[in-house]
Amino acid sequence: MERRLLYLSQADVASVGLTMAEIIDLLEVAFGEKGEGRVEMPPKPGIHPGQGDNFIHAMPAYIPAMNSAGVKWVSGFPENYQRGLPYITGLLILNDPETGIPISVMDCEWITAMRTAAATAVAARRLARPESAVLGVLGCGVQGRANTEALNVLFPLQRVMAYDVRPEAVRAFEKEIAATGLEVVPVDHPRQAVTGCDLVVTAGPILKTPHATIQPGWLDAGAFASLVDFDSYWHPQALKEADKFCTDDVPQLEHYREVGYFQDIPPIYCDLGELVAGKKPGRESADERTMTCNLGLAMDDMAVAPTVYQRAVASGTGTWLPL
**Edge-to-edge strand order for the sheet containing 319-322?**
46-47, 55-63, 68-76, 88-95, 102-107, 4-8, 319-322
Evaluate whether 151 touches 246 at the Cβ level (below 8 Å). Answer: no
Using the contact rule CB under 6 A, the part of the chain among 122-130, 269-277, 290-298, 304-312 near ligand NAD is 290-298
Q: Residue type for 155, please? A: F
The one among 141, 273, 306, 318 contacting ligand NAD by CB under 6 A: 141
The one among 71, 137, 142, 151 contacting ligand NAD by CB under 6 A: 142
- Widest CA span of the chain, in angstroms? 65
The answer to whether residue 261 forms part of the interface with ligand NAD (CB under 6 A) is no
Find the shortest distance in angstroms from Cβ 162 to ligand NAD: 10
Find the shortest distance in angstroms from Cβ 205 to ligand NAD: 5
Q: Which of 34, 44, 72, 244 is catalytic?
A: 72
Q: How many degrees, rounded to 5, is the angle at CA 17 between CA 16 and CA 23?
A: 110
Q: Residue type for 251, please? A: P
Using the contact rule CB under 6 A, the part of the chain among 10-18, 150-158, 163-171, 181-189 near ligand NAD is 163-171
Find the shortest distance in angstroms from Cβ 178 to ligand NAD: 17
Residue 244 annotated in active site? no
User: x/- string (CB under 6 A) for ligand NAD, residues 16-55?
Assistant: ----------------------------------------
Q: Residue type for 173, please? A: F
The one among 106, 206, 239, 299 contacting ligand NAD by CB under 6 A: 206
Q: How many residues bind ligand NAD (CB under 6 A)?
A: 26
DSSP strand E in 152-249: where?
159-163, 183-186, 199-202, 224-227, 244-247
The answer to whether residue 169 forms part of the interface with ligand NAD (CB under 6 A) is yes
The answer to whether residue 63 forms part of the interface with ligand NAD (CB under 6 A) is no
The answer to whether residue 211 forms part of the interface with ligand NAD (CB under 6 A) is yes
Using the contact rule CB under 6 A, the part of the chain among 25-33, 201-209, 214-222, 311-319 near ligand NAD is 201-209
Angle between helices 20-35 and 109-127 (to 10 degrees): 70
CA dihedral for 25, 254, 207, 186, sign (positive or negative): positive
DSSP secondary structure, 100-119, as one string: --EEEEEE-HHHHHHHHHHH
Determine whether 100 is exposed, middle or buried from the number of CB atoms within 10 Å of its CB (0-12, 13-18, 19+). Answer: exposed
The answer to whether residue 136 forms part of the interface with ligand NAD (CB under 6 A) is no
Which residues are catalytic, by number? Answer: 72
Where do contacts with ligand NAD occur on this chain (CB under 6 A)? 76, 81, 87-88, 112, 116, 138-143, 164-166, 169, 203-206, 211, 228-229, 294-296
